[in-house]
A and B are shown apart, each in its own frame.
Chain A
Amino acid sequence: MPRMAGRTFSLSVNGERVRVSAEPDEPLLWVLRDQLQLTGTKFGCGQGQCGACKVLIDGQPLWSCQVPVESVAGSSEIVTIEGLGQPGNLSPVQAAFARHTAFGCGFCTPSMIVEATALLRDNPRPTRAEIVAAMNGHLCRCAAYPNIIAAIRSVADSDREDEAR
C-alpha cells in the first residue's frame, strides 16, 4: 500500500499561520478537523448540501467539504467557529443563539453561527425574509429554525437599541 505522501501547505486559520500536510485535493474540512483539531466544523454530507461544514474564507461563508486545501493555501483568511468566540468569551451572535435555545442537538449550530455572522456583518438589520434567504442552505433536522431566526433578529434589534442610546 502506498504511504501518504501529501504536500505541505501554509494556511491562515483564525488569524494564525499554520502548516499542514495533505493531498492537494483534500477538502479543507478534514484538514481543519484532523490536522488542526478544529472540530467545531462538521461533516454532514460532503456534497455541499447541508451546510454543516461552512467556514469563512476571505469573509465569505463557503462549504469546507467542497474546498480543496490547495486552493486556500497562502493568502486566504480562513475563520472557523473557534475563531468567532470561545467559552467565556462569546460573540454577540453566539450569545444570541445560546439565549434563544437556537439549537437541538447542536451539530449544525457552529456553521449556522458562521453564516449568521457574515449576514449581520453585511446587513446589520436583515428582515425575516433576508434571514431566511441567507440561511436557507443550512439544514437543521431538529428544526430549531424558528429559534434561530429569533436569535438572529435579536442581534439585529440589540444593535438598533445601542444606536438609539
Chain B
Amino acid sequence: MTLTRRRFLSGLGGTSLVFVFDLSCAPEKAPEPTLLALDGDDEAALIDAAIEAKVDYRGWLAIARDGAVTAHTGRMELGQGLKTVLSNVICQALELPGERVHLVMGDTDLCPDDGPTTGSNATRGVGWRYWVACHAARNHLLDEAARRLRSAREELVYEAGEIYDPSRPGRRLGIGELGPGVRELSAGDLETTAGDLPPYVDRGTPSVEAEAIVTGTKSYAGDLRAGDCLYGGFLLPEYHAQRTELLEIDLAPAENVPGLVKLERIGGTVAAIGRTYTSVQKALAAARPIWKQPPYPPEFDNEQEIRKRSKLVGVLRERGDVERALAASDHVISESYVTQYATPAPIETHTALADVTARSATAWVGTQSPFLARERVARALALPDERVRIVGMPPGGGFGEKAGHNVADRAAVLSSLAGEPVKYVQSRKEHFQAACKYKHSVVIDITTGVSADGEIRARTIDFHQGRGKGTRKLYDIPAVRYRSYRAQIGIGNAIMRGTSYTQTIFALESHTDMVARAVGIDPVELRRRNVLNPPFLPLLDRCAEMLGYPSSERSPGHGQGFGICYHGVHQYGVVGAVVEVDRKSGTIGVVRLCGAFDIGQVMNRNTASMGVRGAMIWGLGYALLEEARFDAHRSHTAAFEDYRVPRFSDVPEIELAFLDNHRPGVPRGCGEVPVPPTIAAICNAVYDATGVRFYTLPMTPARVRAALES
C-alpha cells in the first residue's frame, strides 16, 4: 500500500490524519534486484548535499480530534535525545502533558524529508523549528477560537490545550475541536512567529526513552519480527572490495549447513539466506572463494601515500600578502600534522529488515537518513520511490556511519531473492570492513608568523585530504592562505562524530601552543590576544578556572592543556585537560577534562550533558586509542580487539559549564563541538607534561615510548 504524500500532508493541518491509498499501476512482476555498489568515495560530500537540498517544514504537526498532537520528522533519535527535546518543546509550547504528544520519526510514508540527522543539527534544526511551529499553531488556534467564540482574539486565554474567554469561563474549546477550521502552517507563518517567541525553559525532565531503554523494550531494527523472518548475509571479500573480484567459488561445503535456505551468486558476491543468523554466517564461512589478489604490494604508509598522490584542488581562503607578512614576523613556525584513519564502530552493526513484494518494498533500518535509504532501495529494486517505504528505526549508535552507507537496499535484495521478509544483520567483521570507508587520514602543513608580543600576523595551511573545515572564526589573522589538496587512494571518506573539524582543530590547536611556546607567552594568554570572536573570552576564563590553571604545584608527569573550537553555526567550545604520562610504559592517562561551551539555549540539560561528556570521551579515544589499520590489500580491523575504543577505565572526571552569552535563548547544537578541542587539549597537556610534541595520532603507548626515548 502506498500513501500519496501530497494528499496526506494536506490533511495534516486539519484535525485528523487523512490516508489515501493508491494501488493502481502496480507492476505485475518485480524486476531482478541489483546489488548496488557503494556510492562514490566521498560520503561526507553526499551527506552535505542532502542537508543543503532538503528543507520541508510543512506537515510537521497534526492535532487529532481528541486533542492529541502528533509530530512528524524525518530526523532520527540517535541517542542525542532528540525525542526528549521534541517532546519537551511541544509539551511546553502547547501546554500539554507528555502522554498527549506523539512523535513519528523517520517513516518515509508519514514524515517530511527534513534531511539526514548529522552534524549536531537536529536540536538546532528540528527542535527549534518545532518551538516556532507550535507557537504558530497556537496563533492559528486562537484565531479560530476567536471566530467560534465570537470574542476578541486578544481577550482569549490559551491554557493547557484549551482556549477560553475569561469573561465566559464556562465555554472552553479544546485544540482538538478547533482543528477543522485551522489552516495549514506555512513557511511564512513560521517566519512571522519566529520574531516574537516566549523563552523556552529547560525543566530538566528525564529522557522520554528512559523506561524503554532500561527495561530493554526500546525497539531497534534487529528486534523486529524476532523469530518470524529469515536471516540473510553476503560473502565478505578477502581484499578491499573495490580492488578485487570473485574468480571462483566452491559452494558445496556451504550447502549442508543446517538451517540454510538459499545460496546464490549475485553482483560479484554470494548471498546466503537461512533460518537463523548463525546458519547464514556458517554457510558464508564454509564457502571456498578464490578472490583476485590486487596487483600491487601491500605496504601502505598514510602520509607517504597521501603526499605522493596529492593534487591541488583549490584555494580555500586567501587574504593579505602572506609572504610579506611571514617575512616581517619575529618568529615563523612550520609544522606538519597527520591523523589516523578512524571508524565510528557503533555497537549495533548495520541492520535492516526488508519485506519486498512484486509491487512494493518496505524496509526497517537503523539509520540516520531514511530518505537516502529509500532512494537506494528504489534503485536496487528498480521501483519508483513512492513504492518504497522506509521505516527508520533508531540506530544502536550511528555517529555518522549510518547516515550514508546503510544496508536497507541489501536487505531488500535478500528479501527479493527469498520472496519473503529477510533480516540482514552484519557481522562485526563485515561492519568494520565491508564499506571500506573511514574518517580520513589528513596531512596538514601549517606555517604561522607571529610577532614577539604574540600577535599572529600570517598563516598558511595546506590540507592534504579533508576540506579544511574548522579554520573559520577562530583567530584574527591579517594574512592567510589555506589550500585544499586531494589524493585518490581508494579509501572512502565517511563522516564521523566531530566531523572534519576533528583533524583541523587537532593540528591548528596543537600548533597554537607551539606558537605560544616559541614566543614565550602562556598558551591561554596567546589565545586571548588572538581569538577573533568575543564569545571565546569568557569560555577561556571559565575553563581555566575549572581546571585550576595554571596550577601552582605540579605532580611529576602531569600536564595541563587547552583547545578551542568553533563549529557549524555559533557553537563555541573550550576544553581543558589534565594528563598523567607514564614515561616507562608510554601510557597517557587523562585525569580530568573540563569543557566550557557557548551553545545557546540548552534544551534538556540531562540529554545535553550526557551527549557533551560522551563527545569529549570520543575525542579522548581519537587522541589516544582509535586507529583503523589496513594495508593496500586488506583491512586488519575485524573486531573490537583490533580497534581500541574508550572504555570505563579510560574515563576521567569531567566537569562542564554551559554559557549562553552569544545570541541567548536559541539552541545551536552541541553534539560535535566538544570533540575536536578535547583532542587538542590532551595533546597540549601531553606536551606540557613531557616537552614532546606528537604530530601523529593516536598517541599510543608505543608511539609515546618511541618519542620519549628519541
Contacts and interface: CB of A to CB of B under 8 A. Distances in A.
A142 B614 contact: yes
Contact of A50 (B347, B398, B607, B617): B347
B212 interface: yes
A151 B397 CA distance: 21
A75 interface: no
A34 B648 contact: no
Contacts of B209: 103, 106
Nearest to A141: B397
Interface string A42-80: 111111011010000000000000000000000000001
Contact of B348 (A33, A44, A46): A44
Interface in A89-106: 90, 94-95, 97-99, 101, 103-106
Contacts of B227: 33-35, 37
B216 A110 contact: yes
B648 A105 contact: no
B214 A109 contact: yes
Nearest to B257: A2
B639 A30 contact: no
A40 interface: yes
Given A42-B347, A81-B215, A105 B641 contact: no
Contacts of A45: 347, 349, 428, 639-640
A164 interface: no
A80 B203 CA distance: 34
Contacts of A138: 648
Given A4-B279, A43-B277, A141-B645, A109 B213 contact: yes
B215 A86 contact: yes
Contacts of A97: 210, 213-214
A49 B646 contact: no
Nearest to B262: A1
Contacts of A5: 258
B214 A140 contact: no
B648 A145 contact: yes
Interface string B256-284: 11111111000000000001111101000
Nearest to B283: A1
Contacts, number: 221
Interface in B408-436: 425, 427-428
Interface in B360-397: 394-397
A140 B220 CA distance: 16
Interface string A99-120: 1010111111110010000000
B651 interface: yes
A143 B618 contact: yes
B382 to A, nearest CB: 28
Contact of B256 (A2, A90, A106): A2
A68 to B, nearest CB: 10
Nearest to A96: B214
A147 B608 CA distance: 12
A86 to B, nearest CB: 6
A107 B397 contact: yes
Nearest to A110: B216
Given A34-B226, A45-B640, A49-B639, A104 B614 contact: yes
A104 to B, nearest CB: 3
A107 B348 contact: yes
B611 A104 contact: yes
Contacts of A4: 258-259, 275-276, 279
B324 interface: no
B610 interface: yes
Given A23-B278, A26-B278, A42 B256 contact: no
A98 B397 contact: no
The winner among B226, B255, B649 for most chain A CB atoms within 10 A is B226
Nearest to A114: B216
B106 to A, nearest CB: 14
A13 interface: no
A5 B258 CA distance: 7
B606 interface: yes
A40 B216 contact: yes
Given A34-B276, A39-B216, A139-B347, A98 B211 contact: yes
A135 interface: yes
Contacts of B645: 139, 141
A2 B648 contact: no
A15 interface: no
Nearest to B643: A49
Nearest to B256: A2
A41 B259 contact: no
Interface string B204-248: 001101111111111110110011000000000000000000000
Contacts of B606: 101
Contacts of B395: 105
Given A42-B396, A105-B78, A113-B214, A23 B258 contact: yes
B344 A141 contact: yes
B397 A105 contact: yes
A46 B344 CA distance: 18
A143 B614 contact: yes
B231 to A, nearest CB: 9
B347 A52 contact: yes
Contacts of A3: 258
B508 to A, nearest CB: 24
Contacts of B427: 46
A26 B396 CA distance: 24
A158 interface: no
Contacts of B275: 4
Contacts of A108: 347, 396
B145 interface: no
Nearest to B346: A141
A139 B223 CA distance: 20
A149 to B, nearest CB: 7
Contact of B207 (A46, A101, A146): A101
A132 interface: yes
Nearest to B228: A34
Given A47-B428, A113-B214, A99 B79 contact: no
Nearest to A4: B259
Nearest to B394: A105
B646 A2 contact: no
A52 B425 CA distance: 15
A131 B257 CA distance: 42
B140 interface: no
A143 B277 CA distance: 28
Given A47-B639, A52-B347, A136 B277 contact: no
B646 A143 contact: yes
A87 B215 CA distance: 6
Contact of A94 (B215, B223, B278): B215
B226 A37 contact: yes
Nearest to A23: B258
A26 B613 contact: no
Nearest to B638: A47
Contacts of B216: 38-41, 80-82, 109-110
B79 A136 contact: no
Contacts of B79: 103-106, 142
The winner among B215, B281, B349, B397 for most chain A CB atoms within 10 A is B215
B695 to A, nearest CB: 26
Contacts of A1: 255, 260-263
Pairs A-B, 10 closest by C-beta atoms: A40-B216, A107-B396, A105-B79, A104-B79, A106-B213, A143-B617, A143-B614, A98-B210, A81-B216, A110-B216
13 contacts: A2-B259, A4-B279, A43-B277, A49-B428, A81-B216, A101-B210, A101-B607, A103-B210, A104-B80, A105-B346, A141-B345, A142-B614, A143-B621
Given A43-B349, A105-B394, 20 more contacts: A2-B255, A5-B258, A34-B227, A37-B227, A42-B348, A44-B348, A45-B349, A85-B215, A87-B211, A90-B214, A103-B210, A104-B610, A109-B216, A110-B215, A138-B648, A141-B645, A142-B610, A145-B617, A146-B654, A147-B610
